[in-house]
Amino acid sequence: MTFEGATDRLDHLKTWDADWAGLRVVVAGIGLSGFSAADTLIELGARVVVCDATDSEENRAKADTLRIVGAVEVLLGAEPAQTLPDVEGSAPELIVTSPGWRPNQPLLAAAAGSGIPIWGDVELAWRVRVREGRPTAEWLTITGTNGKTTTVTLAESMLRAAGLRAVAAGNVGTPLLDAIRDPQGYDVIAVELSSFQLHWSSSIAPLASVCLNLAEDHVDWHGSFEAYRADKAKIYENTQIACIYNVEDPATERMVEEADVQEGCRAIGFTTDTPAISMMGVVDGLLVDRAFIEQRKDSAAELASVTDLGEVVPRHLVANALAAAALVRAAGVPAAAVRDGLRNFSPSGHRIELVAARDGVLWINDSKATNPHAADASLSSFHSVVWIAGGLSKGVDYTDLVRRNVTRFKAVVLIGKDSSDLASALARHAPDVPLIHPAAGHTGKDGLPVENSNSDGVLAMRAAVSESLRIAEDGDTVLMAPAAASMDQFPSYDRRGDAFIEAVRGIVEGQGFTAKEL
């Protein structure tokens, strides 16, 4: 079969019950999404080869599981991930890639050069979502530089409060293909989509969609900010009912204006200020709807109170709640369920999380602030800040972040193997702010030298917390919002946040570590 013939075949693969049998597929990656994709394709009857560059005990166990499920070849190690393998002696007809694999990765580049189509797991999930004998879930899709996970879980909570069988899936929690294959099926799936997943998707037609915000991020993966923006903008393509944008981020409205949507699809804005017609917003501490009511020209429907989100509610959390409300209102969820969903919502960890309050100092963990835009949202919630920051910068520019928040900084304590980009921006635009790098060796509050190896993230975090304790005074906030990814020192932002929590409890709350441990 020629590649042209293979592509013609793929054009007809739009339901679970289509003819997938014998399709030759290479799955790139055996992580959560890759394993789920391979498992699905085996069940569909495709011929599958899985490649992953990491030959670990965990991946070998996954390979064994896939072999038990059905006929599959699993190739682990650096070499198999560098070349395009055959499938049962012939060239593959399709590549299904994990979202983290870059387009210029050798295997993917070879496939693209040979004209072999490349899908992500989200594209595969969309094509197999329709299955005879099971309900077909509507999709509400969410992307943005920051706030995706909060918004998707808020939407899930609201949908469930309305009595719908719903789940948050995609880039968070449940792999999307696992949700699609659930035996009972779902009424609605709230789908979090990263820019990587959107890059490899083309057919999705969600009921409603939103891009929460847009700021520089993942430039190293996409190659440029313009390419990153283009992939984010794909969230709106083919939307059926409502394209939801952030009134306070005009870039998202321009994306909607440029999108090719289905006839009758509306543009709906959300704002933390008073809403205009066809918007969601805030009036006198209430979340209100001027978009999904008949009398929206001169009235608004009360959805909930801001206090339904908690006692202290950052502005960006209000924005996320309004975006989630717009998504579910597009799906027909009543106002009372929005309120109940907010009240039932439990925020995810490592996002502006109060760890300790002692001697008038707040200790806040926002390890999930993995880029400048997210860190800016955190910093804007406080006044006098000892900022713990740094890590894997991903090629971003810190200039605007430092300029906007220079008056908030009491001091900056650096973590990360190489935080020179952030240090340089601080030197240029906040020269009077004390800049401390514990790795260079400083004296802690107990009078002992605080020396730390950059290669050990846990020790680095303990040193940063010790330095912050020395500096912080009544009325200050010690905020760990790194504005960078964690992978230079930690396996994930979760583990980085855990290290901060452990250090605060050990040093600030008096459990203590020995000088050797520091």
User: How far is Cα of residue 389 from the mean position of the Cα atoms in its chain?
Assistant: 19
Report the candidate in 128, 136, 141 with the shortest Cα–Cα distance to residue 236.
141
Long-range CB contacts for residues 81-84, cutoff 8 Å, separation at least 24: 81/28, 81/51, 81/52, 81/53, 81/105, 81/106, 81/107, 82/106, 82/107, 83/107, 83/110, 84/26, 84/110, 84/111, 84/114, 84/116
Angle, CA 312 vertex, CA 387 and CA 321 arms, to 5°: 100
Q: Which residues contact 90 (CB under 8 A, 6 or more apart)?
A: 24
Phi, psi (5° rounding) for residue 269?
Answer: -95, 155
Q: Which amino acid is at 238?
A: N
Tokens 């049962």 sit at which residue?
A: 88
Question: Within 13 Å of residue 273, how many CA atoms lie on the same side as its CB?
Answer: 6
How, if at all, do strands 47-52 and 94-97 pair? Answer: unpaired
Structure-token pair, residue 499: 């290290």
CB 452 within 8 A of CB 438: yes
Q: Is 147 annotated as a binding residue?
A: yes
Q: Is 148 annotated as a binding residue?
A: yes
Q: Which residues of 301-339 are buried (b: 16+ CB within 10 A; e: fewer)?
A: bebbbbebbeeebbebbbbbbbbbbbbbbbbebbbebbb
Tokens 């999904």 sit at which residue?
A: 292
Residue by residue, DSSP assigns 44-61 as HT-EEEEEES---HHHHH
Structure-token pair, residue 271: 């704002």
Structure-token pair, residue 357: 């309050």
Which residues, in sequence order, are bridge partners of residue 268?
Answer: 244
Q: Is 454 annotated as a binding residue?
A: no
Helix (H, G, I), strand (E, B) or coil at 505: helix
Per DSSP, helices labelled H in 287-433 are 315-330, 335-344, 372-379, 399-405, 420-429
Q: Binding site: which residues?
A: 144-150
- Binding positions for ATP: 144-150
